[in-house]
Structure 1
Amino acid sequence: MEEKKLDVLQPVDDAAIRLGKTLVRSARYGALGTLDPLDGSPSVSRVSLATAMDGAPIFLISRLSSHCTNLMADGKCSLLVGEPGKGDPLAHPRMTLIGTAKQIPAGAELTLYRSRYLRRNPKAALYVDFPDFSFWRFETARASLNGGFGKAYAMKAADLATSLDGVEALADMEDGAVSHMNSDHLAAIERYAAKIGEEPGGWKISTLDPEGLDLASGDRAARLWFDRPLSSAAELRPVLVALAKETPSSA
């Protein structure tokens, strides 16, 4: 008699979706798995990450690297995100994204990605414009989320995507808004970090999107979620002002 396979997957709920999105948005790097065109063997490399405003991971790689060669031959790939902390590394959340990567051609989209990536990875300014480097966008088809022991979820691409309907203007104002906050409102940003339980010191906004802010302080990265997604770009300023007035205990 054939043994029935045990279904260990949990229903995908709002908490799982929030965890999955947080893992992607806050990831400083990921393990990129590609296929070697010589024999189809899997090959894994580490890449520095940022996200597009809709939540898609983006990365910068050199065509001199083996993973770029692999992607040029076959865009199918996977991406593991989630950093281990203290204790058992398998007890910490992580997620494998499965999909394809596509090189971003010159144009307005590339300009936006370049700006977001450099705010997340400022040291990349040393080589971002080298002729052998290019930006790639990861298109998620599905994902496997492991939130810790006994917390496995099969995620759909839609579970991890951020809708940009009605907030298309946010992309055009992001650079100015982030620069203004980082130049003139560092105290407010420290309050944002405190609101989500982060230790104070040197926090800045790296990127923003309709659902929240990505914060950075040296090698530390954190995510602040808005109470609800923005319905228009005009809502950004009042939301930031309101967040700065809240006390950490109100989170």
Structure 2
Amino acid sequence: MSAKAATQARELLLKEYRGVLSTHSKSMPGFPFGSVVPYCLDADGNPLILISRIAQHTHNLQKDPKCSLLVGERDAEDVQAVGRLTVLAEAHQLVAPEAVEAAAERYYRYFPESANYHAAHDFDFWVLKPVRHRYIGGFGAIHWIDHLTLANPFAGKAEQSMIEHMNSDHANAIEHYVQLSGLPQGTAAQMVGIDSEGMHLRIGQALYWLPFAAPCNTPIQVREALVFLARADQWPQRETAEA
């Protein structure tokens, strides 16, 4: 497994925000059960999902927490020629109040409409803790990846502060990021997430991850990267490992 493949696989997980959750069927033993779920990454870099207590996949996970999440590149003309990632994981329901609160704060930023049905219906947060990953980067580019997860060093108050500051004081910079990266225009974008490798913007109901040119490990480095992008005339090439 190459470092480049791991970077590409993690980038795919960051870029997408929905996948196929496969669980072991409770009502049809021996058969896999697939369902589509939205997700974002939690503070530890694990996929975070919000699912109904009456849903079939929830009953399946309660009986057997072993599952997988298949993520593929959106709008691909040839699905076999682009990247796709299978995350083999064990699902854990969040029950501690502080864990649920942190998950809700994060998830609602990415999926604001979820706050309504989470409050009105029986939905719970679950985190998928990866065991192994299978990444296919196109024809012949096939890799098993054991360690892919990367914690977000800004998760919590630091990230919230940066996001609120950008949305309230630097809407023009965010608009420039949208234009620079070729994202859909016409609807105002909101910043919803920042990690060491890039930022998430929400345009309408769609989410987009934009990479920094180089990893940022401190809030100061993030600020420098955001200022640089606000003044750039093209989106910089991301530094990637070759080995």
SS at match of 2:119: coil
Contact map agreement 1:25 1:55 (CA 8 A) in 2 = no
| Count of residues in correspondence between the two structures | 235
Gaps of 5+ in 2: 238-243
Letter of the structure 1 residue corresponding to residue 211 of structure 2: W
- Offset from partner CA, 1:102-126 (integer Å, 9 cap, x none): 0112333322221221121122122
2:159 aligned to 174, 190, 196, which one?
A: 174
Give the whole-Å Cα distance in 1 for the aligned partners of 2:130 and 2:58.
Answer: 18
What does residue range 130-141 of structure 1 map to in structure 2 within 5 Å?
A: 130=120, 132-141=122-131
Task: Return 84-93 or 49-58, whichever deviates more.
Answer: 84-93
Partner in structure 1 of residue 195 of structure 2: 209
Matched, 1:27 2:13: no
Partners of 2:214 and 2:3 in 1: CA distance: 17
- Post-superposition shift, 1:58? 0.4
Deviations 1:46-84 (A, max 9, x none): 111111133211000011001001111111000011144
Q: Percent identity?
A: 33
TM-score of the aligned structures, taking structure 2 as reference length: 0.86
Q: Which residue of 2 aligns with 1:46?
A: 36
1:180 offset after TM fit, Å?
2.4
| In 1: Cα distance, 2:55 partner to 2:236 partner | 47
Alignment partner of 1:223 is 2:209: yes
The structural deviation recorded for 1:243 is: 2.4
Structure 1: which 5+ residue stretches go unaligned? 1-10
Q: Are residue 155 (structure 1) and residue 166 (structure 2) matched?
A: no
Asked whether the equivalents of residues 42 and 106 of structure 2 are also in contact (C-alpha less than 8 Å), the reply is yes
Using the size of structure 1 for normalisation, the TM-score is 0.84
Shift of 1:89: 2.7
RMSD: 2.1
- Within the candidate set 37, 58, 66, 1:76 is matched to 66
Give how far 1:148 is off.
Answer: 1.8
- Distance in 2 of aligned mates of 1:197 and 1:43: 37
